[in-house]
Chain A
């Protein structure tokens, strides 16, 4: 009797004081051993920025485009496409596992070029994915299951922070090849070639198609040619990540040049595309994953396996963004408008780069800031050291990631002068 009662006593003690209730095993938890996950370094920057009350504060952390007023930018072609779609009164039936067919076709053509032999012969398969992340993940899962070479993916040093955990979670191992040269804030071409020439045959090499994230440093065409040659010699499987087509130079064909060169050069590549930045469709999660195969029959087999991979993750992809992207790409005047707008976004970034450097010069900075102009795309690897970054944040409320990366999209004509002042102050 006493034992039965004691349980009740403990339970009622628990309702008075939780600590006492811990004695009762009736209230144990499955999750006692779950650790707090580390905060996302990039999102952490935005959190801190939000809390800052300094009116001059600048958020140069996360990579989403901002207009010259520092506001999110919804492209006109997107609004027009949305209105068009709304007028069609479409149903909401499930998409096929591989996504919206029209989108997949347009997506492939955008990357490879409408007159691409690959597109014409049908020897590639493109599936709609959950933006760039989803595309990389499907690609990683595909490699883990079907790649007959070493399950090692070589990333440039540095690369987008999320590449490593994506491939790792899919079961692939990560290695690196030299890429960024901190002494020049530019491309370590020699180092890259040296490292790539030592990669074991049939390994996977990941290349950023344009606007390298986080450095903004891209190889020049002649350099791409040499890379393509050595990758061929080493018989490596090429996985291109193209998240910024159009966004880098403002010209979609120019930004896809490396991808197209590799294909012409005989590489049957894997390709991830994102429409988050170049169409401003971030939250709609629009992307594609493409496998270039030897022929249409092989493409069919690969497609069937991609579907098997996709189904147990999310069954089939979301419609809204893909429908918008597809409408834009296949409606001539919307496509033309889009090209203009993407050109506009790229141009504003380029202008900000120039104004920042001009600003630093006029502040009297003795450093060489040429790399700010040479680098391309949304991000700039300033070359600032962690202590300097910390000072920028603490003393000037300029928020960026510790590696010295700034998102140029967060710079406006209204704040570029302040930024130049701040950077000069911590580097003089």
Chain B
């Protein structure tokens, strides 16, 4: 009798199932607006020119080998990645109270941060501290924190479906009423899935309450540079919180802004009160890393480190990032314009008000089903679309299809 005869078949992750269905679809005009990866105007993946350049350098450099990285990762990567988030002129970095752990993508950074918090935050092995994630949020946030041992992962109000914007009052209300010392996962910019970010003024209000109520700040920064095209603008919230004196974590991903999706390049930036505490925190992070993956993969980190540490390559990278961000902005503008021209019922300002890769269209699940089944346009049941899936060739078809869905299906 097999030991595993009782193992049930698990439900597949929605966004990957969507791509699978898309791949199996034979319809010539099919469009994939599901998974969050950048696409060119030809609908193709894009390996950044600067990445191609640097990878060539690496392959031809005979001095490089494949030895283990330190447990916490490639030092040059860690420091330059943290600088990207916090700024070259960051006081916290100058004060030696910023450290980092190279991790496997943004997911890995969230995981290591979560494991650390569960062991050491708000008491020892405190599994009962509430962890708040936005409603809605990237679906994997829940699993990362609950698998790290947190028993109480809850939503905080964020998206106002009626207004199609930020529910600031609800958000602030949750911040005021939650248990002190709760952990809050904040999206640094380009909120996934809604594309709706707080304004600077709103961030200031959020920070004030979090400080007063002693809440833990855990930023998820997966789209720096990708949202506005400017690294600095996209890091404003993170840097503001640091300047307000928070001890905090920031999980960074270089999957999108470097297009290094499959090399799993992430960085957990840690801002501490002082260098001594940072040292102790990092020593404990090492123990967590050691039983999870021992040490991180070198390829992607090398690419990023080489790029960020060369003024020329860094500049080229900025341009590549802007190219991606600009194309997304263009698609947003065009989609909205087309829907308005078609006279599609409803307001479509949110298409251009929202920011980053994703847009919460406001389409309901029936309309989404219509789009998938009748028009072979694949998007998440929540109505989230990936703007990168739009191209100059398919945007008319998509706009017309949305128009159909909204007018035919209620």
Contact B67 A64 (CB under 8 A): yes
In the bound assembly, the distance between CA atoms of A316 and B105 in angstroms comes to 9
Contact A291 B4 (CB under 8 A): yes
- Contact bitstring B38-63, A, C-beta under 8 A = 1, else 0: 00000011010001000110010000
Contact A93 B296 (CB under 8 A): no
Most buried by A among B121, B144, B293, B300: B293
Partner of B140, one of A83, A149, A282, A311: A311
Contact B59 A86 (CB under 8 A): yes
- Contact bitstring B167-191, A, C-beta under 8 A = 1, else 0: 0000000000000000000000000
Contact A282 B68 (CB under 8 A): yes
Output the least CB separation between A93 and chain B (Å): 5
Known contacts A29-B272, A31-B280, A92-B261; is A283 also within 8 Å of B66 by CB?
A: yes
A residues near B5, Cβ cutoff 8 Å: 294, 298
Q: What is the number of residues of chain B that contact chain A, defined by CB distance less than 8 Å?
A: 75
In the bound assembly, the distance between CA atoms of A247 and B126 in angstroms comes to 43
Instruction: Verify if A317 is at the interface (C-beta below 8 Å from B).
Output: yes
Partner of A319, one of B12, B59, B263, B280: B263
Which residue of chain A has its CB nearest to the CB of B259? A92
Contact A31 B292 (CB under 8 A): no
Which residue of chain B has its CB nearest to the CB of A317? B264
Contact A92 B66 (CB under 8 A): no
In the bound assembly, the distance between CA atoms of A62 and B172 in angstroms comes to 52
Contact B10 A307 (CB under 8 A): yes
Most buried by B among A32, A132, A298: A298
Contact A307 B13 (CB under 8 A): yes
A residues near B262, Cβ cutoff 8 Å: 92-95, 316, 318-319
Which residues 261-297 of A have a CB within 8 angstroms of B?
268, 276, 280-285, 291, 293-294
Contact B10 A300 (CB under 8 A): no
B residues near A316, Cβ cutoff 8 Å: 105, 262, 264
Known contacts A268-B2, A298-B2, A304-B12; is A312 also within 8 Å of B143 by CB?
A: yes
Contact A137 B291 (CB under 8 A): yes
Partner of B147, one of A32, A36, A74, A313: A313
A residues near B10, Cβ cutoff 8 Å: 301, 304-305, 307-308
Contact A314 B277 (CB under 8 A): no
Partner of A321, one of B56, B283, B294, B297: B297
A residues near B2, Cβ cutoff 8 Å: 268, 293-294, 298
In the bound assembly, the distance between CA atoms of A311 and B284 in angstroms comes to 23
A residues near B37, Cβ cutoff 8 Å: 93-94
B residues near A34, Cβ cutoff 8 Å: 120, 277, 280-281, 284
Which residues 291-344 of B have a CB within 8 angstroms of A?
291-300
Contact B107 A312 (CB under 8 A): yes
Contact B67 A301 (CB under 8 A): no
Which residue of chain B has its CB nearest to the CB of A34? B280
A residues near B263, Cβ cutoff 8 Å: 92, 318-320
- Contact bitstring B209-239, A, C-beta under 8 A = 1, else 0: 0000000100000000000000000000000
Contact B140 A312 (CB under 8 A): yes
Contact A31 B4 (CB under 8 A): no
Which residues 46-105 of B have a CB within 8 angstroms of A?
47, 51, 55-56, 59, 65-69, 71, 103-105
In the bound assembly, the distance between CA atoms of A285 and B264 in angstroms comes to 11
In the bound assembly, the distance between CA atoms of A342 and B111 in angstroms comes to 35
Which residue of chain B has its CB nearest to the CB of A149? B3
Contact B4 A146 (CB under 8 A): yes
User: Which of A162-170, A222-230, A405-413 interfaces with chain B?
Assistant: A162-170
Known contacts A93-B262, A137-B293, A166-B291; is A313 also within 8 Å of B299 by CB?
A: no
In the bound assembly, the distance between CA atoms of A282 and B105 in angstroms comes to 19
Known contacts A137-B291, A301-B4; is A40 also within 8 Å of B247 by CB?
A: no
A residues near B55, Cβ cutoff 8 Å: 86
Output the least CB separation between A89 and chain B (Å): 8
Contact A165 B287 (CB under 8 A): yes
In the bound assembly, the distance between CA atoms of A282 and B299 in angstroms comes to 11
A residues near B104, Cβ cutoff 8 Å: 130, 313-315, 317-318
B residues near A284, Cβ cutoff 8 Å: 66, 297-299
Instruction: Verify if A119 is at the interface (C-beta below 8 Å from B).
Output: no
Known contacts A64-B67, A312-B144; is A293 also within 8 Å of B4 by CB?
A: yes
Instruction: Verify if B154 is at the interface (C-beta below 8 Å from A).
Output: no
Which residue of chain A has its CB nearest to the CB of B270? A31
In the bound assembly, the distance between CA atoms of A92 and B38 in angstroms comes to 11
Known contacts A312-B143, A318-B104; is A92 also within 8 Å of B45 by CB?
A: yes
In the bound assembly, the distance between CA atoms of A91 and B147 in angstroms comes to 31
Instruction: Verify if A72 is at the interface (C-beta below 8 Å from B).
Output: yes
Partner of A147, one of B3, B140, B279: B3
Instruction: Verify if A374 is at the interface (C-beta below 8 Å from B).
Output: no
Contact B290 A165 (CB under 8 A): yes
Instruction: Verify if A215 is at the interface (C-beta below 8 Å from B).
Output: no
Which residues 94-141 of B have a CB within 8 angstroms of A?
103-105, 107-108, 111, 120-122, 124, 140
Partner of A29, one of B56, B273, B294: B273
Which residues 237-254 of B have a CB within 8 angstroms of A?
245, 247
Output the least CB separation between B381 and chain A (Å): 18
Which residue of chain B has its CB nearest to the CB of A65? B67
- Contact bitstring A166-193, B, C-beta under 8 A = 1, else 0: 1011100000000000000000000000
In the bound assembly, the distance between CA atoms of A34 and B284 in angstroms comes to 8
B residues near A158, Cβ cutoff 8 Å: none
Output the least CB separation between A354 and chain B (Å): 27
Output the least CB separation between B127 and chain A (Å): 12
In the bound assembly, the distance between CA atoms of A202 and B68 in angstroms comes to 36
B residues near A308, Cβ cutoff 8 Å: 10
In the bound assembly, the distance between CA atoms of A384 and B33 in angstroms comes to 64
A residues near B300, Cβ cutoff 8 Å: 318, 320
Contact B286 A37 (CB under 8 A): yes
Instruction: Verify if B201 is at the interface (C-beta below 8 Å from A).
Output: no
Contact A282 B66 (CB under 8 A): yes
Contact B297 A74 (CB under 8 A): no
Known contacts A91-B47, A165-B290; is A148 also within 8 Å of B3 by CB?
A: yes
- Contact bitstring A3-44, B, C-beta under 8 A = 1, else 0: 000000000000000100000001111111111110010010
In the bound assembly, the distance between CA atoms of A86 and B65 in angstroms comes to 16
Partner of A97, one of B7, B16, B47, B124: B16
10 additional A-B residue pairs with CB within 8 Å, beyond A314-B104, A314-B108: A36-B280, A86-B56, A92-B259, A92-B260, A95-B262, A130-B104, A285-B297, A301-B9, A315-B105, A318-B300
Enumerate 16 A-B pairs (CB-CB under 8 Å) in ascending A order: A31-B272, A31-B280, A36-B283, A37-B286, A64-B68, A72-B65, A78-B66, A89-B47, A162-B294, A237-B3, A280-B65, A311-B107, A313-B107, A313-B147, A313-B292, A320-B299
Please give the residue numbers on chain B whose beta carbons come within 8 Å of chain A beta carbons, in ascending order. 2-10, 12-13, 16, 35, 37, 44-45, 47, 51, 55-56, 59, 65-69, 71, 103-105, 107-108, 111, 120-122, 124, 140, 143-144, 146-147, 216, 245, 247, 255, 259-264, 272-274, 277, 279-281, 283-284, 286-288, 290-300
**Which 8 residue pairs across A and B have the least CB separation, nearest first?**
A37-B283, A314-B104, A312-B143, A29-B273, A133-B294, A283-B298, A320-B299, A304-B10
